[in-house]
């Protein structure tokens, strides 16, 4: 079910098609146009930035919080549900709350503060801050998932190792660095792959909060492709962009199989 439409796309990427009339064969023109397009390069650059942010910030927060949860015996279940809450809610509701109630100049909390305390701009409306602002909302929604996964992995760390370390007088940091961390490396590696893949597919929050603007400063490959297909009806070009996106995914997927080559050998 995935394969056939993907194959159609592969062919369409070499054509000009408005979605209705017959596709016209173009050869490599779509790709040449894209490579000469500043916005396309900006989208790639933004995607790379997005990936780097997501590989560091939510990972770090999740690792710290998950290891803190280990020491909370009775309340860990409650914390877990609270941290997971933003992750399970509709992106559209989350995006609407953040845009309207927090960032908006007229009705948001930031607007209220800038009227009464200290003047601030709407961080979504500025070319220099928009990408980071959307990314932080997406991180707010996403990090809980990582925390839950890391926490589940940490709970499987053999308790004999932990006890031995306590008895040897290791500090909290030393235990984390030399026992917890090495034990959950496979899970961290998997999450690296997953985060990389999803960073190149990210669509919802950017589309809902800025739609790629202002002045393409938050344009990602996914929003670019969507705009090309459904706003300017350059479906051939849009599929060429989608092909680029899947290249990144392919690299990530292959590196995952490569990392697990031992366990996959039957």
Partner 1 sequence: MIRSYQRSQLPDRLLLGLVVLVSLAPLLLMLVNAFKQHADIVENPLSLPHSLTMTNFKAAWIGGHFTVGLLNSVLLTGTTVLVTVALGSLAAFPLARHRIRLWKLVTLYFLCSVTVPIQLFLFPLYFFYARLSLIGNVFATALIIAAVNLPLSVMLLRTYILTIPPELDDAAFIDGASPWQIFCYVIFPLMKPGCVTVAVIVALNTWNEFLITSTFQQGDAGFTMTLGYHAMAGAMSADLGIMMAGACIIIVPIIVLFLFLQRLFVDGMTSGAVKG
Residues 38-57, interacting with partner 1 (CB under 8 A): none
Which of 43, 65, 124, 209: binder of partner 1 (CB under 8 A)?
A: 65
Return the half-sphere exposure (C-beta side, CA atoms, 13 A cut-off) of residue 195: 26
Shortest distance (Å) from residue 186 CB to partner 1: 7
| Cis peptide preceding 214, ω within 30 of 0 | yes
User: Could you tell me the two tokens for 143?
Assistant: 């990090």
* Residue 118 in the binding site for partner 1 (CB under 8 A): no
Choose among 30, 52, 85, 24: nearest CA to 199.
52
Question: How far, in Å, CA of 200 to CA of 46, rounded?
Answer: 10
Q: Which is nearer to partner 1, 11 or 52 (CB)?
A: 11
Shortest distance (Å) from residue 83 CB to partner 1: 6
Q: Which is nearer to partner 1, 3 or 128 (CB)?
A: 3
Which of 33, 91, 125, 132: binder of partner 1 (CB under 8 A)?
A: 91
Shortest distance (Å) from residue 9 CB to partner 1: 5
Q: Could you give the residue ranges of the DSSP H alpha helices within 71-184?
A: 76-88, 91-97, 109-116, 130-154, 159-167, 172-175, 181-183
- Contact of 111 with 104, CB cutoff 8 Å: yes
What three-state secondary structure class fits 203? coil
Shortest distance (Å) from residue 158 CB to partner 1: 13
Question: How far, in Å, CA of 96 to CA of 125, rounded?
Answer: 15
Q: Which is nearer to partner 1, 131 or 193 (CB)?
A: 193
At residue 15, φ and ψ (nearest 5 deg) are -130, 170
* Residue 30 in the binding site for partner 1 (CB under 8 A): no
Query: What is the residue whose two structure tokens read 């809610």?
Result: 89
* Residue 185 in the binding site for partner 1 (CB under 8 A): no
* Residue 97 in the binding site for partner 1 (CB under 8 A): yes
Which of 112, 132, 176, 192: binder of partner 1 (CB under 8 A)?
A: 112
* Residue 22 in the binding site for partner 1 (CB under 8 A): no
At residue 16, φ and ψ (nearest 5 deg) are -105, 125
**What does the per-residue mask of binding to partner 1 show for 164-183, with x meaning CB under 8 A?**
--xx---xx-----------
- Contact of 248 with 75, CB cutoff 8 Å: no
Taking contact as CB under 8 A, which single stretch among the options 32-40, 41-49, 81-89, 120-128 is the one that binds partner 1?
81-89
- Contact of 59 with 49, CB cutoff 8 Å: no
At residue 32, φ and ψ (nearest 5 deg) are -65, -45
Q: Which is nearer to partner 1, 128 or 199 (CB)?
A: 199
* Residue 34 in the binding site for partner 1 (CB under 8 A): no
* Residue 107 in the binding site for partner 1 (CB under 8 A): yes
Site for partner 1 in 207-266 (CB under 8 A): 207-208, 221-222, 225-226, 229-230, 235, 238-239, 241-243, 245-246, 249-250, 252-254, 256-257, 261, 264-266
Query: What is the residue whose two structure tokens read 């800038």?
Result: 114
């Amino acid at each position: 079910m995935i394969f056939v439409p993907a194959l159609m796309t592969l062919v369409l990427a070499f054509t000009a098609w408005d979605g209705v009339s017959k596709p016209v064969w173009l050869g490599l023109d779509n790709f040449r146009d894209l490579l000469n397009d500043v916005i396309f390069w900006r989208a790639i650059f933004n995607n790379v930035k997005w990936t780097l942010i997501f590989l560091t910030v939510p990972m770090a927060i999740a690792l710290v919080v998950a290891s803190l949860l280990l020491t909370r015996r009775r309340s860990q279940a409650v914390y877990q549900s609270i941290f997971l809450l933003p992750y399970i809610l509709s992106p559209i509701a989350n995006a609407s709350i953040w845009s309207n109630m927090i960032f908006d100049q007229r009705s948001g909390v930031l607007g209220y503060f800038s009227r009464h305390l200290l003047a601030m701009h709407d961080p979504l409306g500025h070319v220099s801050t928009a990408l980071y602002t959307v990314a932080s909302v997406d991180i707010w929604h996403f990090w809980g998932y990582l925390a839950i996964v890391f926490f589940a992995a940490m709970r499987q760390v053999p308790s004999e190792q932990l006890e031995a370390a306590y008895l040897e007088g290791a500090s909290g940091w030393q235990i984390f660095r030399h026992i917890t961390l090495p034990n959950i490396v496979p899970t961290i590696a998997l999450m690296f792959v997953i985060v990389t893949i999803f960073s190149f597919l990210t669509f919802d929050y950017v589309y809902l909060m800025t739609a790629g603007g202002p002045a393409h400063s938050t344009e990602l490959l996914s929003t670019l492709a969507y705009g090309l297909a459904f706003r300017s009806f350059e479906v051939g070009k849009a599929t060429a962009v989608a092909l680029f996106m899947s290249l990144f995914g392919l690299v990530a997927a292959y590196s995952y199989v490569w990392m697990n080559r031992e366990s996959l050998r039957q």
